[in-house]
Amino acid sequence: MGNREGGNPRYSFVIPVYNEERNLGELYRRLDGLSDRLDGEMEWVFINDGSRDQSLAFLRNLHQQDSRVTYISLARNFGQQIALTAGLHFAQGEAVIIMDADLQDPPEVALMMIERWQEGYQVVYAQRTKRHQEHWLKRFYAYVFYRLLQRLAHVDIPLDSGDFCLMDRQVVEVLNHLPERNRYLRGLRSWVGFAQTSVRFERSPRFAGDRQYTFTKSLSLAIDGLVSFSKVPLRLATYTGLCAALVALIMAGMVLYWRIVAPDSPVTGLATILIAVFFLGAVQLVSIGILGEYIGRIYEEVKGRPLYVVSEVGDRGESKA
């Protein structure tokens, strides 16, 4: 175990942790199982994302016992994407592997990724072929979302790939220097380019505990993804506006025609007017909402606050082992 003196580890595992006390023990065992199957040293960077259970205590303990375990503890819950960003800043390895703490991303798949990395690929992302025991509704909206994103985004974001991936140091450096606050990692990862490939795997069920993502969190992640990688929603607003204007013009023409050419025809005004008003109102509200999404992001960027606040660090080289 004792290492470090010789410089940076070859492999870093970056793992966000939010209330995962029941998974960490098993995760540690599984990661430890990889150690003699790898050709270099590992470090495990756990990011405690403001957990309210004993996760942090558990990490402190592990860190004391095993010098491969490092951790950063964020001052509150910042969300998985920010936690990952913090982890990427902190990781030292030549290859950095991102995965979830709940064992839905099997550590053994990392071995397959590492093989591809050794073949020369700089980004190896995992594509799920199956999702075990996830609710059909979640599977359904994940399915729709990934396809929507692929159609709308101006970079090619691969289907059904989550955050689980391996990235070369060179790629991590680029990501670390991206200035934006809005971190949709799987999009940024595609955006950077480099030699990319995928490995396929079946997503396991959670080992223990409940999903930390609520529906609203997932939805907000989805909107983040769409808005930071596509201007199509803005354009959609413009087009809808244009169409509405066209419809209004045609209707005006019809009314005028009836008034002049066929003055006897019964043109009932009220219903038409109501429909038109409601329709236009809806179009305007939606368009303002879409504008707001983008302006809100500009606002976030301009404020220039740090992405996260660290309250505690368990650095390398401190522990006894």
Contact footprint for ligand UDP (CB under 6 A)? 16-18, 20, 49, 77, 79-80, 83, 100-102, 104, 211-213
Min dist CB 234 to ligand UDP, Å, is: 28
Is residue 163 close enough to count as binding Mg ion by CB under 5 A? no
Cα separation of 118 and 71, whole Å?
27
Which of the choices Mg ion, ligand UDP, none does residue 14 contact, using the CB cut-off of 5 to 8 A by kind?
none
**Residue found by looking up tokens 């950063």 in the block:** 72
By the 10 Å C-beta count (0-12 exposed, 13-18 middle, 19+ buried), 95 is classed as buried
Q: Provide the sign of the torsion angle of the four alpha carbons 183, 166, 168, 68, taken in this order.
A: positive
Which of the choices Mg ion, ligand UDP, none does residue 77 contact, using the CB cut-off of 5 to 8 A by kind?
ligand UDP
H/E stretch holding 229 reads helix 215-229
Of the two residues 29 and 211, which places its CB atom closer to ligand UDP in the complex?
211
Of the two residues 101 and 290, which places its CB atom closer to Mg ion in the complex?
101
Helical axes 269-303 vs 215-229, angle rounded to 10°: 80
List, in sequence order, every beta strand (DSSP E) within the chain: 11-17, 42-48, 69-74, 95-98, 123-131, 161-168, 196-203, 310-314
Provide the phi-psi class of 91: left if phi over 0, else alpha when psi is between -120 and 50, else beta. beta
Min dist CB 97 to ligand UDP, Å, is: 13
Min dist CB 213 to Mg ion, Å, is: 8
What is the spatial order of strands in the sheet that 161-168 belongs to? 196-203, 123-131, 161-168, 95-98, 11-17, 42-48, 69-74, 310-314
Of the two residues 10 and 89, which places its CB atom closer to ligand UDP in the complex?
89
Of the two residues 55 and 67, which places its CB atom closer to Mg ion in the complex?
55
Which of the choices ligand UDP, Mg ion, none does residue 182 contact, using the CB cut-off of 5 to 8 A by kind?
none
Min dist CB 124 to ligand UDP, Å, is: 19
Of the two residues 97 and 153, which places its CB atom closer to Mg ion in the complex?
97
Amino acid at 120: G
The full DSSP string for 99-110 is --TTSSS-HHHH
Of the two residues 24 and 237, which places its CB atom closer to ligand UDP in the complex?
24
Which of the choices ligand UDP, Mg ion, none does residue 213 contact, using the CB cut-off of 5 to 8 A by kind?
ligand UDP
Amino acid at 215: F
**β-pair partners for 11:** 42, 95
Min dist CB 153 to ligand UDP, Å, is: 20
Min dist CB 78 to ligand UDP, Å, is: 7
Min dist CB 44 to Mg ion, Å, is: 18
Which of the choices ligand UDP, Mg ion, none does residue 233 contact, using the CB cut-off of 5 to 8 A by kind?
none
Of the two residues 133 and 268, which places its CB atom closer to ligand UDP in the complex?
133
Q: Which of residues 90-149 bind Mg ion (CB under 5 A)?
A: 100, 102, 104
